Structure 1
Amino acid sequence: MLNYLRTIKIISLSVSSALLLAACATTDGTEDIDDRYMRSQHGPDLQLPPETSEVKVNDGYRVPEGLVITQREPKGKKLSLDPPQLLLVAGDGVWEDKERAEPTVWVRSSSEELISYVVRFMDSQQMSHQEPTSSSVKTNWISDDDDNKVAEHLGTYSLEGERHKFALTIVETKPNEVALQAQHEAYQQLINDKWVNVDTSSRVAKQFLNYFIGYYDSERTREARARILQEAKIEVELGYNDQGALALVSQREFLAVWDQMPRVLEALNLEVTDRDRSEQTYYFKVNEPETGFWSWFGDDEVTAKVDLEPGNYQIKLSELNAGGVSLSFYGAEGELLDSSTVTKIYPEFSAEFKRGKAKRGKK
């Protein structure tokens, strides 16, 4: 009995091993399936039961007359083992357009700006490319033996000796966003020392687009960090507001200047009394200087560091038509300060805006 059981186990293991080996893939990247079913013999004709002369079949199940199987080649060996490829959309302002046949993403950008990122992407990866147009950049041949990380991972994972051509093209524009599409324009494999054309695929186009999306996201993140580091440093010069009055002007965006105003006023010992975001105005006060015995010692914590008479003032921020922001100074009743006064207080305001948080010392 024991020998019988041992024999059954050995047979079971042998059959399992054979099935496992049969399921393995061949080295040419195709499925090695059992296609003996293609050589099966024709079975016996359908036999009607006794005393039955015909079989009634509903029309919905009727087999079409004259049906002939014309393709007898097994399909399994032609299937690729390459895994499916998804668009790895990441970062703010990038999303996939699933309605298009070719891999496409929408990017919150302008055509000119996005094309510049595409060129920088290809240059950073040392990809040879053609002269860019206003809406497209096309590569030259990218081979899997090129000296860059992108080229190493394009195409199939089971073959060596491949090269590709791609295009990244803006196919549609909307206000503040553009649709960027990847095309796999040419594909060749090295077979018997000759380059042979192979069908292009949307899968490989997605691979290429994914690498650009990753580059774009990392560059935008790096640039955002640089802006954060610089946001406390604002260049301010003497200029004019859109009404022609002398003012302080900066090329930075409105919010950057607005957010820095409390710090600048505090650093200049100007007391912030109010602010009105809807009017884009800060209200501040120049305190009366100390008098009497304690005035001999001075008080850098209280004394204003700009040449203004004691009293209440306003700073109104306005976005300039030509870009940037103007800072106009007014008295308590809304009267515009004269040009000579603005000129006198300009150096202190300019220096404090430029100094920023990072370089401010202790009071």
Structure 2
Amino acid sequence: MLNYLKTIKTISLAVSATLVLSACATTDGTEDIDDRYMRSEKGPELQIPPETTEVKVTDSYRVPEGVVITKRDAQGKRLSLEPPQLLLVAGDGVWEDSERDQPTVWVRGDSEQLVTYIQRFMDAHNINYQNTDTTSVTTDWVTDSDENQVSEYLGTYSVDGERHKFSLEVVESKPNEVALQARHIAYQQNTDDQWTDVETSSRVAKQFLNYFIGYYDSERTREARQRILQQAKINVELGYNDQGSLALVTEREFLAVWDQMPRVLESLNLEITDRDRSDRTYYFRVNEPEDGFWSWFGDSNEAKVDLAPGDYQIKLSDLNVGGVSLSFYGAEGDLLDSSTVTRIYPEFAAEFKRGTGKK
């Protein structure tokens, strides 16, 4: 009987120890955590059953002396429930400066250029602002009544019944690189028609900076695309090559014209048969127009220039005054007459000027 009671007591002590340790180690990080365990008192002394003079406790179930957890400070209510906010650094030439207290990114360029982008950002999103100096832009109060979409970009920080002020400032400059810092400088909530101050947050500042970075990256991408399209456009006029023959002439360099030639010829339904870079010559063919079944559906190979079917050449030559001339030859290398060059000039000029954009 004594051994039975000893065994039961041993199991009870083991279970009690497990429950105590489990309860002491359980915190879910929520703000409504029950911290009454911090004020718990020592329980009653262990009572030994009658006729029992000894309780054997094995080492594997030894109960620790004292309650260790009471020597720590309660942490649950001081834990933030908000997830970390990352800077969504995007695009070439933008990187985060994680060493600064406030959200900061380095941007390739100069201060004046970047501030111009910030002003364009504010204007594009209907955000009222003011320039405190040449390196800083500060918003007026941003509220839910404004005609902007700021609330959609502040994540969980809705501006419904709230208002915020932000600043974007160039805080450091290096050769061809500047540091842009965002600050959440004011935050108020409306309670009973009274505005009360609320503590500002670097998380909100990061979200506003992300808002600008997204705009900045999209604008830079759009401008780069426009530059590429503009560079692809070539203005061609009637003129003369260095031998005095009528030709198409342009101020652009050889490579720009050479690279655009396949697109121009294909757009005019002129079949490229060969090319010789060393001789700076493209060879093309004007095919006989199709008048069969598929021509009824507009699937025609008819050339869009007034040239007789046959083989031709276009030779590119550098001009002494700068630029390039495009001279037209027949299959045997005979120069086309001036009237023919004049007749086909409008179509070639239009295709070169169209560039790689949509027709």
Q: Give the TM-score normalised by structure 1.
A: 0.54
C-alpha displacement of 1:117 = 2.4
Who is 1:17 aligned against? none
Who is 1:327 aligned against? 323
1:113-192, aligned counterparts within 5 Å? 113-131=113-131, 133-154=133-154, 157=157, 161-192=161-192
Q: Residues of 2 paired with 1:160 and 1:286: CA distance? A: 67
User: CA offsets per residue over residues 283-322 of structure 1, 9 Å max, x none?
Assistant: 34899xxxxxxxxxx74654568xxxxxx7632799xxxx
C-alpha displacement of 1:132 = 7.2
Q: Give the TM-score normalised by structure 2.
A: 0.54
Q: Residues of 1 paired with 2:214 and 2:197: CA distance? A: 29
C-alpha displacement of 1:203 = 1.3
Who is 2:95 aligned against? 95
Conservation of the 8 A alpha-carbon contact between 2:182 and 2:206: yes
1:6-155, aligned counterparts within 5 Å? 31-40=31-40, 76-131=76-131, 133-154=133-154
User: CA offsets per residue over residues 201-228 of structure 1, 9 Å max, x none?
Assistant: 2211101011112222233344445455
Structure 1 residues 214 and 285, CA, compared in 2 at 3 Å: closer, same or farther?
A: closer
Q: Residues of 2 paired with 1:286 and 1:159: CA distance? A: 65
Q: Root-mean-square deviation (CA), in Å? A: 4.9
Structure 1 residues 350 and 77, CA, compared in 2 at 3 Å: closer, same or farther?
A: same
Who is 1:213 aligned against? 213
* Counterpart secondary structure, 2:119: helix
Who is 2:277 aligned against? 274
Who is 1:234 aligned against? 234
Who is 1:249 aligned against? 251
Q: Which runs of 5+ in 1 are unaligned?
A: 1-21, 26-30, 44-68, 240-246, 276-281, 288-297, 306-311, 319-325, 332-340
C-alpha displacement of 1:121 = 1.9
- Number of equivalent positions: 259
Q: Residues of 1 paired with 2:160 and 2:325: CA distance? A: 70
Q: Residues of 1 paired with 2:320 and 2:177: CA distance? A: 29
C-alpha displacement of 1:195 = 2.0
Bigger radius of gyration among the two:
2
* Counterpart secondary structure, 1:130: strand
* Counterpart secondary structure, 1:89: coil
Percent identity (aligned): 58
Structure 1 residues 190 and 80, CA, compared in 2 at 3 Å: closer, same or farther?
A: farther
* Counterpart secondary structure, 1:314: strand
